[in-house]
Amino acid sequence: MPVFFKLKKRKDFVRAAKSGISIPTRSIVIQAVLRPEETAQGARIGYTTTKKIGKAVVRNRCRRRLRAAAALCFGKLALPNADYVLIARYSTAGVDFKELCRDLQYGVKKLNRQLNGETACVQEDDQTPVSAAD
């Protein structure tokens, strides 16, 4: 049973593309953006396959492989207040499944480090410095 929810609305995909972080790997591109804490129920994931990849049969195969890889290793790595978008590449359909899982794990770990770094910077900026005169 996956511990994440699906992204379904276009505005969520656009928000991840515009204001999120993107990590390209050999077989997929992963985008991520943090959500406000009050709307965080769990990690959300969306899948994108464009017509550049190929015809409908190839695009559907890529989506199935991305969903299977996410079901195996995404739940334990994902941040609960983040949205992730997996974008299939031309090589997604033909790459070995183990390599696809490795690329997904590598990308999510790298994104999480960057997202955690952003939240640490935001929390540090919120603190107002105290001068010696006070």
**Domains of the chain as residue ranges with CATH:** 5-116 (3.30.230.10)
Mean pLDDT of 18-30: 94
For residue 131, what pLDDT is reported? 42
Q: Say what the pTM is.
A: 0.81
pLDDT digits (tens, 9 = 90+) for 60-76: 999 999 999 999 988 88
Strand partners, 26: none
For residue 1, what pLDDT is reported? 41
For residue 129, what pLDDT is reported? 45
Beta strands in 3-134 (DSSP E): 5-6, 21-24, 28-34, 44-48, 82-88
- pLDDT tier for residue 38 given thresholds of 50, 70 and 90: low
In angstroms, rounded to a whole number, what is the distance separating the alpha carbons of residues 25 and 99? 10
In angstroms, rounded to a whole number, what is the distance separating the alpha carbons of residues 102 and 33? 21
DSSP 48-109: E--TTS-SHHHHHHHHHHHHHHHHHHTTTTS-TTEEEEEEE-GGGTTS-HHHHHHHHHHHHH
